[in-house]
Amino acid sequence: MSTRLATGGRLLSKNRAIEFTFDGKRFKGFQGDTLASALLANDQMLVGRSFKYHRPRGIVASGPEEPNALVNMGEGATFEPNQRATTTELFDGLKARSQNTWPNLEFDVGAINSKLARFLPAGFYYKMFIHPRPLWKHVYEPFIRQSAGLGQAPKDRDTDTYEHLYAFYDVVVVGGGVAGLQAAQAAAASGARVLVMEQTEHWGGRAPVDGGIVNGATVDKLVDDLVESLTNLNNVTLRLRMMGAGVYDHGYLLGYERLRDHDPQIGGPRHRLWRIRAGQIITATGAIERPLSFAGNDIPGVMLASAVRDFIANWSVSVGDRVVVVTNNDDAYLTALWL
Amino acid sequence: MLMLTCPYSGVTGEETEFTCGGEAHLKRFGPGSSDEDFHDYLFSRENAKGVHFERWRHSYGSGKWFIVARNTVTLEVYGSYPAQTTEPPQWIKDKISAKVPGWSWREFS
């Protein structure tokens, strides 16, 4: 039973409520939610089915490392499959549908595959669909095409525009956490032209959630101060919602900026590809948590410990009343404290 | 993406301005040479892992051919010199030796 808590929510604007639909059902969320946090706030843990055996899948992480919560987003010209619910910022009128299920998410006919697992070993298709030969074109192939993949292919033409540009900087910092912001400040102080790119819509990375005291104040304050001082410098470019898409040789890197995925009402291009030549590239991209392996680690409700505290701290969502924390290092105690 | 410098125009540009022309310092054997020499000229290449010499042409610039010394593993470019030589100039050999002591490529080192 995941619910919204009464207080908290660092990234939420609780005075701005948003309506969205998931699988045809209408839900409410807040400005600042991701689709995943809003679904959890509405006690919707089940978000999809696995590829082959159609096992139920729930939200696992809180960031781009999410493997399960892939949804079909939008309709018609804006339809796009395989969007991660954890990186999709909620906007009014968002429509999402779960993938790889028929007729619906709770009761999926494809789940019969897991009962037939005996007859579907790895590579079964090398032997199974060969005879009788005439059946391939009109029986086997359509069936395979229909059941393959997770999302659906868009049928309408994409009406959005996309652009690319070339950019040149002395120092490019990939990652807007504390390390990246401090590196940018040091580089800017030496007079270099600096670009800082952060793929989420907020600065500071994990630090404001994981806490810590710097110079007698919480890390939030340090992050805010850094951002403010960097914004005021005219040799520093700060970009949110911009991902470092690849770092190549001789200082070449690609940045991918998503301009209006969070608010389709904004005009202009949807995404922008930056082709950047940098004198120096600093990747301050942080770390993500590795999941533990154990029997049943794919059941909906099994989540990363850092994700659990992210949902509590950032979006005031409690993922459950009774939570079991399993750990092999110190990090999970932070989650236990948050709970 | 490599950054190369044309030694004639002095222009440093991304590799998309240039066209690669294969391995450098090949001895050309034409009609009248032995089969083995001709075969080697056409097909045998060093394919070095490490220090490598390559012909490049500044196709979107001066249009001239030059030779680039680079490292195929670290993607470092040591320098470029005009193609009108049969041997890399000493300054580039020294530069490579400073980075990769004891290197050798074909008969040069």
Question: Which of left, alpha, beta for A290 (phi over 0: left; psi -120 to 50: alpha)?
Answer: beta
Query: Where does the pLDDT of residue A102 fall: very low under 50, low under 70, confident under 90, or very high at 90 and above?
Result: confident
Query: What mean pLDDT comes out for the span A204-230?
Result: 90
Question: Between A178-189 and A219-231, two packed helices, what is the crossing angle to 10 degrees?
Answer: 40
Answer whether residue A62 shows pLDDT above 90: yes
Mutation site, A250, A253, A281, interface B, largest B CB count within 10 A: A250
Handedness of CA B77, B82, B84, B87 (dihedral sign): negative
Pairwise CA distance, residues A184 & A230, whole Å: 8
**Where does the pLDDT of residue A152 fall: very low under 50, low under 70, confident under 90, or very high at 90 and above?**
confident
In chain A, which residues have their Cβ closer than 8 Å to the Cβ of B77? Answer: 250
Residue found by looking up tokens 């100039």 in the block: B89
Q: At residue A84, does pLDDT exceed 90? A: yes
Of A7 and B56, the structure prediction assigns the larger pLDDT to: B56
Residues in B closer than 8 angstroms to A250, CB to CB, are 1-3, 75, 77
The C-alpha atoms of residue A22 and residue B99 are separated, in whole angstroms, by 59
Residue A124 has pLDDT above 90, yes or no: no
Examine the pLDDT at A151 and tell me if it is beyond 90.
no
pLDDT at A168: 96
How far A185 CA sits from the closest chain B CA (Å)? 28
A69-73, A124-128, A237-241: lowest mean pLDDT where? Answer: A124-128
Residues of A in contact with B1 (CB under 8 A): 248-250, 252
Find the mean pLDDT for residues A293-308.
92
The pairing of strands A271-283 and A252-258 is antiparallel
DSSP per-residue letters across A92-110 = TTEEEEESS-SB-SSSBGG
How far is the C-alpha of A337 from the C-alpha of A284, rounded, in Å?
27
Pair of tokens at residue A22: 């998931």
A166 vs B: CB within 8 A: no
More confident residue, A283 or A138: A283
CA distance B101 to chain A (A): 23
What integer pLDDT is reported at residue A273 of this predicted model? 97
Alpha-carbon distance A251 to nearest alpha carbon in chain B (angstroms)? 8
User: What ipTM is given for this predicted complex?
Assistant: 0.76
To the nearest whole angstrom, how far is the Cα of B109 from the nearest Cα of chain A? 26
Between residues 114 and 143 of chain A, which touch chain B (CB distance below 8 Å)?
none
pLDDT band (50, 70, 90) for residue A280 = very high
Closest CA to A248 of B78, B96, B3, B70: B3
Helix extents (H) in A148-241:
178-189, 207-210, 219-231
Residue A237: per-residue pLDDT: 96
The size of chain A, in residues, is 339
Please provide residue A249's backbone torsions phi and psi, each rounded to the nearest 5 degrees: -80, 165
| CA B89 and chain centroid, separation | 12
Provide the pLDDT confidence category of residue A241 given band limits of 50, 70 and 90.
Answer: very high
Q: Does residue A144 have a pLDDT over 90?
A: no
Would you state the pLDDT for residue A324? Answer: 86
Of the segments A92-96, A103-107, A325-329, which one has the largest average pLDDT value?
A92-96
The pLDDT, as a whole number, for residue A57 is 94
CB contact under 8 A, B75 and A249: yes
Q: Are A297 and A290 in contact (CB under 8 A)?
A: no
pTM value?
Answer: 0.86
- Taking the alpha carbons at both ends of chain B, their separation in whole angstroms is 27
Judged against a pLDDT cut of 90, whether residue A211 lies above it is answered with: no
User: What is the C-alpha to C-alpha distance for residues A150 and A72, in angstroms, rounded to an integer?
Assistant: 9
Give the pLDDT confidence score for residue A210 in this predicted structure.
87
Instruction: Please state, as a whole number, how many other Cβ atoms lie within 10 Å of the Cβ of residue A306.
Output: 22
Report chain A's mean pLDDT, rounded to a whole number: 91
**Residue A258 pLDDT greater than 90, yes or no:** yes
The helix (run of H) or strand (run of E) holding residue A237 is: strand A236-239
Name the stretches of chain B with pLDDT < 50.
none
Strands A94-98 and A13-22: parallel
